[in-house]
Amino acid sequence: MEELKNPKAKLSIEVSESDFEKEEVMEPTRREFLKLCAASAAGLGISQLYIPQVLRALERAAVSNPPVIWIQGAGDNGCLVSLLNTTHPTIAEVLFKIISLQYNPTIMAGAGKMAISHLDTVSEKTKGNFILVVEGAIPTKDGGIYCTIGQKNGKHITMLEAVKDLGPKAKAIIALGACATHGGIPAGKPNPTGAKGVRDVLGKAAPIINIPGCPAHPDWFVGTLVHLLMYGLPELDDQARPKMFFADSIHQNCPNYSYYMEGQFASKFGEKGCLIQLGCKGPMTYSDCPLRRWNSGVEWCIGAGAPCIGCCSLGFPDEVSPFYVSLPKELWPEKQTELA
């Protein structure tokens, strides 16, 4: 396992399946796994989770394919689309090698009565064992009638009812994306539907993992899921976010950091320099976007010349608005250089 301590080195070594048939496969320790996740944050991609050791361990952990029930509330399905676009691993690998997706209204074949009946059956049969993924906010005003997920016995099932019913039966709950973590855009002022996040509905005691972002990065979801399967609940911060992905601010790892320190600020888009005067919310936003980047590690917002709009902040969008206006100077990080 020594080579796993240096994932970059590991990636340069060709390891065939037959090599592992000859010898006993050792599972990475949790510590090694976290290093893999962190190393993928150095631009190598979560594909490292698919080196043979991890893959075999995963297949063992997933012998009974832990069921996943994925419900969708007020949102735009962006987090699911983000996950479907994952290339390393592919969505097929996630669905067929790691989990058994039992319910997802967007991609499952079943619909209507049949789908709702399956949801009931699976959630009862696998009570205490399934992972519940919640995507989208939960409208709570007027009994939650502004978002329904189906019907039973001629009555609407609201997203609010679904979360309250399924949440306590789940082994763990992943609130995926800004809408599910804290309400996101549907909860933006004036929040006419009373949209809330999962924690606001079920309470802090529920086993909730918050994966923010608009959308959430596929690596954050897959890495969290793998951690859950292999080692249990990942270490979370006080906002229930996995520390392995959300410990540092965008600002700390930003390639424009030296511009910030030197006081070189872009005054218009396309100009070289730190984007803080153009409204960058990187100093108050925590995620590994600068290292992991998006679209299979190709690019990310600041890399493309756009200020961070703070979509991973658990107050997005209201607390990071207006997007393209500079943070008040008292909120600029320490060691700031005076404006020219």
**Is residue 283 a contact residue for ligand SF4 (CB under 6 A)?**
yes
Least separation in angstroms between residue 42's CB and ligand SF4 is 18
Number of residues engaging ligand SF4 in binding (CB under 6 A)? 14
**Is residue 274 a contact residue for ligand SF4 (CB under 6 A)?**
yes
Q: Give Cα separations from 106 to 77, 96, 135, 139, 232 (angstroms).
A: 8, 17, 11, 19, 28
Q: Which of 45, 183, 186, 282 binds ligand SF4 (CB under 6 A)?
A: 282
Amino acid at 118: H
Least separation in angstroms between residue 75's CB and ligand SF4 is 26
Where do the DSSP E strands lie in 154-230? 155-158, 172-176, 195-196, 208-211
> Which range, of 34-42, 216-224, 231-239, 253-261, touches ligand SF4 by CB under 6 A?
253-261
Q: What angle do CA 14, 19, 24 make, to 5 degrees?
A: 125
Q: Rounded to whole angstroms, how far apart are CA atoms 80 and 216?
A: 9
Question: Which residue number, 89 or 282, has a Cβ lying nearer to ligand SF4?
Answer: 282
Q: What angle do CA 98, 100, 106 make, to 5 degrees?
A: 115
Determine how β-strand 208-211 pairs with β-strand 172-176. parallel
**Is residue 257 a contact residue for ligand SF4 (CB under 6 A)?**
yes
Question: Which residue number, 49 or 280, has a Cβ lying nearer to ligand SF4?
Answer: 280
Determine how β-strand 131-135 pairs with β-strand 138-139. unpaired
**Is residue 254 a contact residue for ligand SF4 (CB under 6 A)?**
yes
Q: Which of 173, 302, 314, 320 binds ligand SF4 (CB under 6 A)?
A: 302
Point out which residues bind ligand SF4 (CB under 6 A): 250-251, 254, 256-257, 260, 274-276, 280, 282-283, 302, 308
